[in-house]
């Protein structure tokens, strides 16, 4: 996370920017955008999402539309998950990999029609993906349109969110997980999906940038005032919420040098893609991931529960005590925090596969001290289990 925005910084602003300022958002630079890291207390914002509802501005995330004759074939080429067979209204989590099987990004693909899809990607990877897609087009015929700056995107997450949404629409609360619908509420046209990044129930909404302010008046009638059902939540609590939910963050758990199998994302990789149907084809990185799967990954992403109150941070060493050589380095922390919900420190880390079993005793080198840690099942928390 970057430091506070300076007056001279040239940053993009989301359609909800004025809302953030009006509600005391502490703005920081994030992936080239001016974004709120918090409005007040990060812990209180975290708890508001867990107990009631939160509004998250995620307009900085990329939104890329693919349409035309070969749109589906192209997405099957660049995505690890199979796109062929998706039907209208389905969302599918996938990875975009490099030839080595490393993660260029993790994405959500929305199917509007057999020849029309929308991809939501991480803000920091949008420009990189656009270059990659241009390089991989070949003789495939389709249209690619980057809709990020002409649209807005918000997430509404929490146990009371659907009560609010049900007052506006009967259809949306009836959606299954990873499904979406297109709605017209008053004069606002929007895409509403039953997805999220917090471990709570809720929706993500994509709409035109010019109607973002009106949409706020529909979903947040009390405008996030004290005691409101849905309150604004910044990047700080978004990070602790996703960590409790055991969800990877690009640049932490996954990157160009990390494969999805080691990251526990094998469910989003169809290793035999194209083997049974030549209409599908193979995806970029499939050869490398098939070889890795055959040999077996050497490392695995695990959840850790730490003793004490100090949090582990990205880059800290994971240690194992041995009688012969003392404490030896066996892994590295990717994310960590003092869990506001569980009230103890949690972390995710990569360790050798042999040390990945639940209950394995390890330690974290905190710098001036060491903390005992044990491998625990992920997610650390989920209201959706």
pLDDT digit string (tens) for 339-367?
999 999 999 999 999 999 999 999 999 99
Final residue in a domain of this structure, among 259, 286, 313: 286
Q: Are residues 239 and 303 in the same domain?
A: no
User: Could you tell me how far CA 214 lies from the centroid of its own chain?
Assistant: 26
Domain boundary among 234, 256, 286: 286
Sign of CA dihedral 73, 75, 77, 79: negative
- Provide the 8-state DSSP code for 90: B
Q: Which is more confidently placed, 147 or 185? A: 147
Do 218 and 359 share a domain, yes or no? no
Please give the Cα distance from 371 to 355 (Å, whole number).
17
238 and 324 part of one domain:
no
CA nearest to 101, candidates 280, 282, 303: 282
Whether 233 and 303 share a structural domain: no
* Position 40 in a domain: yes
Nearest to 121 by CA among 95, 140, 149: 95
In a domain, 343, yes or no: yes
pLDDT of residue 352: 98
Instruction: DSSP letter for 7, please.
Output: T
Range of weakest confidence among 217-226, 325-334, 356-365: 217-226
Percentage of the chain surpassing pLDDT 70?
Answer: 96
Considering the domain architecture, whether residues 103 and 195 belong to the same structural domain is answered as yes
What was the pLDDT predicted at 321? 87
Whether residues 226 and 304 fall in one domain: no
CATH number of the structural domain spanning residue 234: 3.30.1360.120
pLDDT above 70 (res 3): no
Q: What does the pLDDT read at residue 128? A: 98
Domain end among 226, 261, 286? 286
Q: Are residues 70 and 139 in the same domain?
A: yes
β partners of residue 148: none
Reported as a pLDDT band with limits 50, 70 and 90, residue 276 is confident
Q: Tell me the per-residue pLDDT of 228-271, one tens digit each, with 9 for 90 and over.
A: 899 999 999 999 999 999 999 999 999 999 999 999 999 999 99
Q: 319 in a domain, yes or no?
A: yes
* Residue 256 falls inside a structural domain: no
Domain that holds residue 350: 299-376
Evaluate whether residue 264 is within a structural domain. no
Separation CA 128–CA 55 (nearest Å):
28
Per DSSP, the three-state class of 284 is coil
Q: In terms of domains, do 144 and 59 share one? A: yes
Same domain, 335 and 237: no
Using CA atoms, how far residue 331 sits from 101, 169, 354, in Å, is: 21, 48, 12
Kindly report the pTM of this predicted structure.
0.94
> Are 218 and 332 part of one and the same domain?
no
Whether 268 maps to a domain, the answer reads no
**Radius of gyration over every alpha carbon of the chain, rounded to an integer in angstroms:** 21
Query: Are 124 and 250 spatial neighbours (Cβ–Cβ below 8 Å)?
Result: yes
- Helix (H) or strand (E) run with residue 163 in it: helix 161-166
With cut-offs at 50, 70 and 90, classify the pLDDT of residue 224.
low
Domain CATH code at residue 316: 2.40.30.110
In the chain, the number of structural domains is 2
What span, in angstroms and rounded, lies between the C-alpha atoms of 56 and 16?
A: 10
Are 89 and 210 found together in one domain?
yes
Tell me, what's the pLDDT at 4? 44
């Amino acid at each position: 996370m970057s430091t506070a925005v300076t007056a001279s910084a040239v940053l993009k602003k989301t359609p909800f920017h004025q809302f953030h300022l009006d509600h005391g958002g502490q703005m920081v630079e994030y992936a080239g955008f001016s974004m709120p890291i918090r409005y007040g207390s990060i812990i209180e914002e975290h708890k508001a999402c867990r107990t009631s509802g939160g509004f998250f501005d995620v307009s900085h995330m990329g939104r890329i539309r693919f349409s035309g004759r070969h749109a589906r074939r192209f997405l099957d080429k660049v995505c690890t998950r199979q796109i062929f067979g998706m039907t209208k209204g389905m969302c599918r989590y996938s990875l975009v990999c490099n030839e080595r099987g490393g993660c260029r990004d993790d994405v959500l693909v929305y199917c509007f029609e057999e020849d029309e899809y929308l991809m939501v990607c991480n803000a920091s990877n949008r420009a990189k993906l656009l270059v990659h897609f241009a390089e991989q087009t070949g003789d495939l015929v389709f249209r690619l349109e980057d809709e990020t700056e002409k649209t807005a995107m918000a997430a509404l997450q929490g146990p009371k969110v659907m009560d609010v949404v049900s007052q506006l629409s009967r259809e949306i609360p009836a959606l299954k997980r990873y499904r979406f619908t297109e709605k017209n509420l008053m004069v606002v046209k929007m895409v509403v999906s039953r997805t999220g990044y917090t471990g709570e129930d809720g929706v993500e909404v994509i709409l035109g940038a010019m109607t973002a302010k009106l949409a706020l008046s529909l979903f947040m009638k009390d405008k996030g005032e004290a005691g409101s059902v849905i309150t604004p939540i910044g990047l700080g609590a978004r990070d602790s919420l996703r960590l409790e939910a055991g969800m990877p963050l690009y640049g932490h758990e996954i990157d160009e040098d990390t494969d999805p199998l080691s990251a526990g994302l094998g469910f989003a990789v169809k290793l035999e893609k194209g083997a049974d149907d030549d209409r599908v084809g193979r995806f970029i990185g499939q050869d490398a991931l098939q070889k890795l799967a055959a040999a077996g990954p050497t490392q695995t992403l695990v959840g850790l529960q730490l003793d004490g109150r100090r949090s582990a941070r990205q880059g800290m060493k994971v240690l194992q005590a041995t009688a012969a050589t003392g404490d030896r380095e066996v892994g590295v922390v990717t994310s960590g925090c003092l869990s506001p919900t569980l009230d103890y420190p949690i972390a995710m880390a990569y360790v050798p596969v042999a040390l990945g079993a639940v209950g394995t005793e390890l330690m974290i080198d905190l710098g001036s001290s060491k903390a005992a840690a044990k491998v625990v099942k992920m997610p650390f928390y989920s209201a959706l289990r």
